[in-house]
Amino acid sequence: MKIILNVTKSIVPRIILFGFFVLVLIAVIAYARGYRINFDEGTVTSTGILSVNSTPRPAKVYVNGELKGATDVNLTLPFGKYNVEVKKDGYTSWQKQVSLKGEIVMSLDARLFSKNPSLTPLTNLGVMKAIPIGNTDKLILISQTGDVEADGIYLFEVGNKALAIFPPLKPLLMKSLLLETIDISTATVDFAPNYRQGILTFIIDQGELAYLISLEDENTQLFEITASKENIITAWNEEKNVEALKIIETLPKKIVPIALSSFQIISLSPDEKKLLYLAKEDATIPIVLEPQLIGANQTVEHRDIKKNSLYIYDKKEDKNFLLPIVVSIDNSLFEIDETPSQTTPTPETATSTAQIATPKVWNEEVVKLITEKVHWYPTSDYLAAMDVNQIKLLQYDGTNEEIVYAGPFQDEFFTISPDWNVLVIINLNPQLNDHGDLYSVGIK
């Protein structure tokens, strides 16, 4: 009997200690997973964590109108719907409505833009026209001020700084090499798929004059290709269409047939996770991910796409968003016979896009029309768009639209630089200068 009592005395405390350890462990795990005690109601409820970050920081974070702290901050909140707003003096505000679920961490990244942008001149040429080189960070600048030694066509590499080893501005073709009767303000450029060559076309009395030029070095000799221009451009566009088909092949298999018949590819985001496209036919995008990814974007989708509307498809989250950007497209651009032959598989029966009778998912004219108005922001979470003499930024899901520049700019030209600023052509002294120059508008 004494032995049993001694054993009991030694085991019972251990059992109690082990039980206490288990309870503490359960409490720690429950706390880490977001469960909290509601002392007022005497209940245990699940909570979620709202992680709010901003660029720039710090910025004030409001949840349902109540100040909760400054970015970057993690907020533990009961599950439910919340309106989150991020504010910073001198910057645009940012807001998002979210539905927070228990045991879930939701991250929000607010990007704020300066309400008082700065202007920095980048050239001193007298720029009468600027032409972006595809989706690169390079521009073609055309200068015609009457200075025989300076007038010509230049390459401007936006990513290069003025004090860098390689200067941002270098000549491509000087006007002195051209016939005196050529007006270089009429110049247009068609680009090769690798953007290393281009076809430079001028309007002349007899029609047009076209030259093949290098986009990497100064052209000291002219190679006229007027007679073969259309054949070269057709070959280039076919190659670009093949590259666009490769983009479609990266989409989920359930979406590929719809994309082949209804997507007009415009561009990939810089991180290549999102696709900007124009709907050329009404269609429905099938759902691929069920259930949705935890913490995915909660903005309302538009999976029923309408002809001539712009959309963003997020490949990672399987989300499709309508952009509130109106584009005017001539429907005749799509009136091309793309009917497969009787022996060629259709999009529904083919196992790869290579088996299909070359669907046309790339239209150079459509791409030019849209990319003159819409550009990806380098961070891939925003787009910049021109709208009635002003430039606005909006998130890829169509929310948080903000005007970031409403000052003067000419020729309806703008683009986005790798340092996140807006580039425009401005003439700040029209009484002395016939043409403006390239400026960087600091919106960060």
**Lookup: tokens for 9:** 């005395």
> Cα dihedral sign for 243, 247, 248, 250?
positive
Percent of the chain with pLDDT over 70: 82
Mean pLDDT check: name the lowest of 237-241, 250-254, 323-327. Answer: 323-327
Q: What is the pLDDT of residue 343?
A: 38
Q: What is the pLDDT of residue 430?
A: 86
Q: Is the pTM above the cut of 0.85?
A: no
CB 363 within 8 A of CB 333: yes
Cα 238 to Cα 244: distance, rounded to the nearest angstrom: 10
Q: What is the pLDDT of residue 429?
A: 87
Count other Cβ atoms within 10 Å, centred on residue 50: 22
Judged on CB neighbours under 10 Å (0-12, 13-18, 19+), 116 is exposed
Mean of the pLDDT values across residues 179-207?
93
DSSP symbols for 15-26: HHHHHHHHHHHH
Cα 261 to Cα 279: distance, rounded to the nearest angstrom: 9
3-state secondary structure 53-79: EEECCCCEEEECCEEEEECCEEEEEEC
Q: What is the pLDDT of residue 42?
A: 47
Taking 90 as the threshold, does the pLDDT of residue 279 lie above it? yes
Judged on CB neighbours under 10 Å (0-12, 13-18, 19+), 383 is buried
Q: Output helix, strand, coil percentages for the chain, rounded to the nearest 5.
A: 20, 35, 45
Q: Which of helix, strand or coil describes residue 169? A: strand
Query: Over the chain, what is the mean pLDDT?
Result: 85
Of 30 and 177, more confident: 177
Mean of the pLDDT values across residues 304-333?
90
Taking 60 as the threshold, does the pLDDT of residue 392 lie above it? yes
Confidence label for 384 from pLDDT (cuts 50, 70 and 90): very high
Taking 90 as the threshold, does the pLDDT of residue 48 lie above it? no
Confidence label for 292 from pLDDT (cuts 50, 70 and 90): confident
Q: What is the pLDDT of residues 146-191, one digit of tens each?
A: 888 899 999 999 875 544 445 689 999 999 999 888 999 999 999 9
Tell me whether the omega of the peptide bond preceding residue 132 falls within 30 degrees of 0, making it cis.
no
Mean of the pLDDT values across residues 395-413?
90
Q: What is the pLDDT of residue 335?
A: 56
Q: What is the pLDDT of residue 163?
A: 45
Q: What is the pLDDT of residues 335-355, one digit of tens each?
A: 554 444 333 344 455 545 444
Of the ranges 123-127, 260-264, 349-353, which is most confident? 260-264
Q: What is the pLDDT of residue 6?
A: 56
Q: What is the pLDDT of residue 353?
A: 46
Q: What is the pLDDT of residue 160?
A: 58
Amino acid residing at 299: T
Of 44, 113, 91, 162, which Cα lies nearest the Cα of 384?
113
Mean of the pLDDT values across residues 260-279?
96
Taking 80 as the threshold, does the pLDDT of residue 45 lie above it? no
Q: What is the pLDDT of residue 284?
A: 97
Residue partners of 108: CB distance under 8 A and separation at least 6: 50, 51, 52, 53, 84, 96, 98
User: Which helix (DSSP H) or strand (DSSP E) does residue 129 occupy?
Assistant: strand 127-132
Q: What is the pLDDT of residues 357-367, one digit of tens each?
A: 679 999 999 99
Q: What is the pLDDT of residue 105?
A: 84
Cα 371 to Cα 439: distance, rounded to the nearest angstrom: 19
